[in-house]
Structure 1
Amino acid sequence: MKKILLTVAAAVAFSAAGFAQNSQKVTYIKSPEFKNQIYLYGKPDSVETEQWYEIEGRGQFVRNVKNPALIPYLPAKRKANGAAVIIAPGGAFLHHTFGSGGFEAAEWFKNQGFATFILKYRTEETPLDEAEHQAFVAEKMAGYRAGGLSGNYAPQTPDFAYDDICAAVKLVRGHAAEFNVQPDKIGIVGFSAGALLGVYNAESAPDESRADFIGSIYGQLVMRKMPEKLPPLFAAMSSDDELSGQSGFEVIQAWQKRGVAELHLFGQGGHNFGMGHEPYTNALWPEEFLAWLKMIKIIK
């Protein structure tokens, strides 16, 4: 089974932009009911382990995900462009951030004609009690930060997230006709930890489970062993991101030798900017990504 590594960039994703969970109001909510949710490994008897909550000013989160699923956002057939996007939210593999890098992203891509799916991949188990949960997260963050921000610190994580992203691509490709997409135009757009999943998928997945294009949004670019051929990569980050913006760009240089790579390095905006934070220029990345997909002929 493929082992993957979690870089410090993913590990501190939700705190890097100055948001400490224990300093803001946390409200636990009822699990949303998603229409036509598609479970990757069959519908479970219960999903009561999931804990959904809101953090004031930051939107919805979910943790303790044990039953991975795709949440579909499908455009009208007349508007469909023939391509699919699987959105992988960030959250350090401890939770999912379903705000700008989740629900908002899904709506935007759907409105552009993409068959869009939010991947609710499995997360690491965290304590049910909120106080214990915060203590657990704080300890994790302290450990990750102690490793430094050099880009070389990579604590090992379970296989589940990698397995889930590969299963998601395979599922969408296997049902391409049903979703009104072409099987060779299925991509991953990942945010922070989700961006790492996209890159790992491109580097390691078998053909039937590998995406055809990757959008890495504020994911850390750390050099790893790469295959000789890679799908097109679009990367966007802020140069003042204390995590992803400081790890160098060896991955882009290596990727260029094996495929198509495009890097958008914005001057300001920090980490965790989702679909963009105005007035920062990182708010332009969705339109730039769309133009890039036209250039590489994923869409017309």
Structure 2
Amino acid sequence: MIVKNHPNIQTNCLVFLLSLGMSISLFSQKLKTIPLWESEIPNAISNPNYVESPTYEGEIFTRTTQVVTPTLTVFSPKKGTKNGTAVVIFPGGGYQHLSMNKEGLKVGAWLSSLGVTAFVLKYRLPSDAIMTDKTIGPLQDAQEAMRYIRRHATDYKLDVNKIGVLGFSAGGHLAATLSTHYTDVVYESDAISAKPNFSILIYPVISMTDELTHNGSRLHLLGESPTSDMITYYSNEFQVNEATPPTFLVHATNDKSVPVENSVHYYLALKEHKIDTEMHLFEKGGHGFGLCKDDIHLHWKRNCKNWLKAHKLIE
């Protein structure tokens, strides 16, 4: 384990953000966005009054809520740089909205610069208005995203054994849920595996227990009065086993929204089951730093890149 307590040095990342934002703005017209489900969406209730509500800042798609139709937005590396590795990105937002730019599109652009084919998943948020069982809706989309990519691996020139997930906050909970519940039958599917080969969790919600959870995420996913069985099922620190994929964790110690103990407990569960894992803890940073908050973006991106190299996922 690598645990780092790093001072909150004030580093100006404006140039980084502007350059990355401009590249996304220019590149956005070329991005390919595809419907996730190639047939009927499972667990869906038709509700014409429930309409997706996206938010834009200029031409930048920043966030959305009330997702009805899940999609994958594809970031392909430049010609000659593709390395066969793919990552599905789960933006955070407390299972209430999706932070599509900061924790989605910008991350896809960064990963594609490493030769990784990135897929930003706009997943359905739990809602009784459009789902017969809202607790499994996000997991259904996450499983299908993995299956879709493996199903089309040849089209994207991907190695089916190098497909991972990256999630932020509640998106980290979804990534961890997929990493521990990939064999659970939550819809009728083909025999293609939904298992991630690796997972990257950034300030993730891991637990649904009273002591550790992010209350908003639990409320939106499980409702006001979840049973003890539901809490245990979606507390992923209890779901780790010897087949859970290798995991890279990042969290800030002073995170007041999602306690750092979420990552710590998941790390300890992985360690107990002898799963390859690396964790980076920062003294400061709070919650929601994404790719850039003071100087933290310089560290977790670099650390993550080194971890991907160590696992022979990039060169």
Measure, in 2, the Cα distance between the counterparts of 1:101 and 1:235.
15
TM-score with structure 1 length normalisation? 0.72
**Which residue does 2:213 correspond to in 1?**
none
Does the residue aligned with 1:178 lie in a helix, a strand or coil? helix
Displacement after TM superposition at 1:53 (Å): 1.4
Displacement after TM superposition at 1:218 (Å): 0.5
User: Residues 113-170 of structure 1, C-alpha deviation per residue, up to 9 Å, x if partnerless?
Assistant: 111110000014599xxxxxxxxxxxxxxxxxxxxxxxxxxxx952110111110011
**Which residue does 1:83 correspond to in 2?**
85
Identity between Structure 1 and Structure 2 (%)? 27
The question of 1:39 aligning with 2:19 is answered: no
Does the residue aligned with 1:96 lie in a helix, a strand or coil? coil
Amino acid at match of 2:280: H
User: Residues 64-97 of structure 1, C-alpha deviation per residue, up to 9 Å, x if partnerless?
Assistant: 1011110111113301121001110001111111
Measure, in 1, the Cα distance between the counterparts of 2:74 and 2:160.
17
**Which residue does 2:275 correspond to in 1?**
259
Alpha carbons 2:246, 2:277 under 8 Å: kept? yes
**Which residue does 1:152 correspond to in 2?**
none
Alpha carbons 1:94, 1:126 under 8 Å: kept? no
Measure, in 1, the Cα distance between the counterparts of 2:294 and 2:197.
30
**Which residue does 1:10 correspond to in 2?**
none
Measure, in 2, the Cα distance between the counterparts of 1:59 and 1:299.
29
The question of 1:273 aligning with 2:269 is answered: no
Displacement after TM superposition at 1:55 (Å): 7.3
**Which residue does 2:138 correspond to in 1?**
161
Counterparts of 1:33-112 in structure 2 under 5 Å? 35-42=31-38, 49-54=51-56, 60-112=62-114
Measure, in 1, the Cα distance between the counterparts of 2:205 and 2:166.
14
Match of 2:194 among 209, 213, 232: 209
TM-score with structure 2 length normalisation? 0.69
Measure, in 2, the Cα distance between the counterparts of 1:237 and 1:199.
15
Please give the root-mean-square deviation of Cα atoms over the aligned residues, in Å.
2.8
The question of 1:218 aligning with 2:203 is answered: yes
User: Residues 240-297 of structure 1, C-alpha deviation per residue, up to 9 Å, x if partnerless?
Assistant: 0012324462221120223111110011110011113123x35311121110011112
Q: Give the total of aligned pairs.
A: 238
Alpha carbons 2:172, 2:206 under 8 Å: kept? no
Measure, in 1, the Cα distance between the counterparts of 2:56 and 2:78.
31
The question of 1:227 aligning with 2:241 is answered: yes
When residues 269 and 174 of structure 1 are mapped into structure 2, their CA distance, relative to the original with a 3 A threshold, is same
Measure, in 1, the Cα distance between the counterparts of 2:105 and 2:279.
24
Residue segments in structure 2 that go unaligned for 5+ positions in a row: 1-27, 41-47, 184-191, 208-236
Does the residue aligned with 2:174 lie in a helix, a strand or coil? helix
Measure, in 2, the Cα distance between the counterparts of 1:88 and 1:236.
15
Match of 1:199 among 160, 176, 200: 176
Displacement after TM superposition at 1:298 (Å): 1.8
Measure, in 1, the Cα distance between the counterparts of 2:263 and 2:77.
37
Amino acid at match of 2:196: A
Amino acid at match of 2:147: K
User: Residues 166-204 of structure 1, C-alpha deviation per residue, up to 9 Å, x if partnerless?
Assistant: 100111111111111100000101011111111111111
Measure, in 2, the Cα distance between the counterparts of 1:241 and 1:42.
39
Alpha carbons 2:127, 2:134 under 8 Å: kept? no
**Which residue does 2:13 correspond to in 1?**
none
Counterparts of 1:109-188 in structure 2 under 5 Å? 109-125=111-127, 158-188=135-165
Measure, in 1, the Cα distance between the counterparts of 2:122 and 2:205.
21
Alpha carbons 1:162, 1:197 under 8 Å: kept? yes
Amino acid at match of 1:191: F
Measure, in 1, the Cα distance between the counterparts of 2:160 and 2:259.
31
Between stretches 202-211 and 161-170, larger displacement belongs to: 202-211
User: Residues 10-45 of structure 1, C-alpha deviation per residue, up to 9 Å, x if partnerless?
Assistant: xxxxxxxxxxxxxxxxxxxxxx9884322121389x
